[in-house]
Amino acid sequence: MDKPVSLTNDIFWVGVNDHKTELFEAIWPLPHGVSYNAYLIRDVKTAVIDAVKNDFAETYLSGIREVLGGKPLDYLIINHMEPDHSGAVGKLLETYPQMRIVGNARTAEFLLHFYGIGRNVTVIKDNDTLALGRHTIRFLLAPMVHWPETMLSYEEQANILFSGDAFGGFGALDAGIFDDEVDVHFFEDETRRYFSNIVGKYSAMVQKAIARLAGLDIAVVASTHGPVYRRNPRHIIELYSSWSRYKTQEGVVVVCASMYGNTRRMADALARGLSEENVREIRAHDVSTTHLSFIINDIWRFKGIVFAAPTYNGRLFPLMESVVEFLENENIKNHVVGLIECHAWSGGALPVMEAFAEKSGLEVIRPVISARCSPTEAEFNACRALAANMAQALRLPVA
């Protein structure tokens, strides 16, 4: 569904849906696609807010032409320069050579370095406004959500927050575009996956941006990915607020790697133990078959994590090492962790996992379990003890 959709009688969604790209940023799977949302305000002056990925420029331009109906385009406001949004800027400028491109000083740098565009650029500062006629846009700089030039554009008459990537998520908008037209539970999961994969590292900056919204009357949140929130705009802001404060719910993610099934048997015993302890939200992932994206999404949701992995080449199994490295790089907080390892002759997995937990300030729940070659009854008993202690820790406030 790539036809323009009205937000009001003179503000339109002119975005596109991408079902072609398999990996967003060449990393993150898109089993349900993604939308690149752009918007158009048709006033005395006309303004498009954000562009789309270059591959979809023709669809984007055709939506803009349809809404403008022969009027010129006066402005392109750029909230974010990552090429999934800025890719079509050059073609838009070719089509409307008189158009001014509006962004901040960092936006101007990226325009030059990505596309060699140095003309037609109007540089705004934080809190500047742009009057279009009936509509005025106020610019709120929000650096590092999640690039240095990121900003929000607030439309002051209809109280629409054009938020760039902030409050966005994965999932194409194939039918409805509004939160009252789509399955919000599906989009909540895809939005947390987007947040945890891409924006989570910049949680402190997300908090700063959200703090700036406190005094604003926001009727609609219109981001660059995922649904437009008009029924419950505060809900998506609250979700981002909660995720960026690393708030979690009761549950455990069991992340396992196992070459010959020995570590797997311990992970299974642990998971069964958790179930017997009345933990109802348990997600088991195998790092060899589940993409990091989905593991990180669940970790962002649940308070408990159990890492169960073998030693490989004297270190942690490589696919598990990439999980813990990513979490450390994201500054993961507020979790309790269980550690299980299996080795044949020399250990090596456990010190890597312990160092990660210590650096990240995560509480390690006892016992830490280490098996040689194949778990014995002693290790299975330890798994049950770990499950009991983990269940108890889940129900306590994080230390």
Binding site residues, ligand FEO, CB under 6 A: 80, 82, 84-85, 146, 165, 224-225
> Which residue, judged by CB position, is nearest to ligand FEO in the bound state?
82
Q: How far apart are CA 92 and CA 97, in angstroms?
A: 8
Which CB atom, from 86 or from 297, has the smaller least distance to ligand FEO?
86
Q: Closer to ligand FEO by CB, 2 or 84: give it.
A: 84
Of the pair 21, 136, the CB lying nearest ligand FEO is at 21
Q: At closest approach, how far in Å is the CB of 146 from ligand FEO?
A: 6
- The answer to whether the beta carbons of residues 122 and 111 sit under 8 Å apart is no
- Minimum CB separation from ligand FEO for residue 151, in Å? 12
- Select 2 or 50, whichever has its Cβ closest to ligand FEO: 50
The smaller minimum CB distance to ligand FEO, of residues 2 and 165, is found at 165
Cβ 15 to ligand FEO, closest distance in Å?
12
**CB contact at 8 A, 271 and 282:** yes
Which of these, 274, 54, 39, lies nearest to 162 by C-alpha position?
A: 39
* CA distances (Å), origin 40, targets 73, 144, 220: 9, 25, 15
CB of 237 to ligand FEO, least distance (A): 18
Smallest gap, in angstroms, from Cβ of residue 17 to ligand FEO?
14
Q: DSSP string spanning 219-274?
A: SEEE-SSS-BBSS-HHHHHHHHHHHHTT--EEEEEEEE--SSSHHHHHHHHHHHHH
User: Within a 13 Å sphere around the CA of 25, how many CA atoms are in the beta-carbon half?
Assistant: 9
CB of 81 to ligand FEO, least distance (A): 8
DSSP annotation of 200: G
**Nearer Cβ to ligand FEO (77/394):** 77
Nearer to ligand FEO, 147 or 178 (CB): 147
- Least Å distance, CB 335 to ligand FEO, is 26
What is the 3-class SS of 156-182, one letter each residue?
A: CCCCEEECCCCCCCCECCCCCCECCCC
Output the CA–CA distances (angstroms, integers) from residue 61 to 38, 54, 102, 228, 335, in the order listed.
11, 11, 18, 20, 46
Rounded CA gap, 383 and 378, in Å? 9
User: Shortest Cβ distance from residue 84 to ligand FEO (Å)?
Assistant: 4
Which one, 46 or 244, has the nearer CB to ligand FEO? 244
b (16+ CB within 10 A) / e for 16-47: bbbeebeebeeebbbeebbbbbbbbbbbebbb
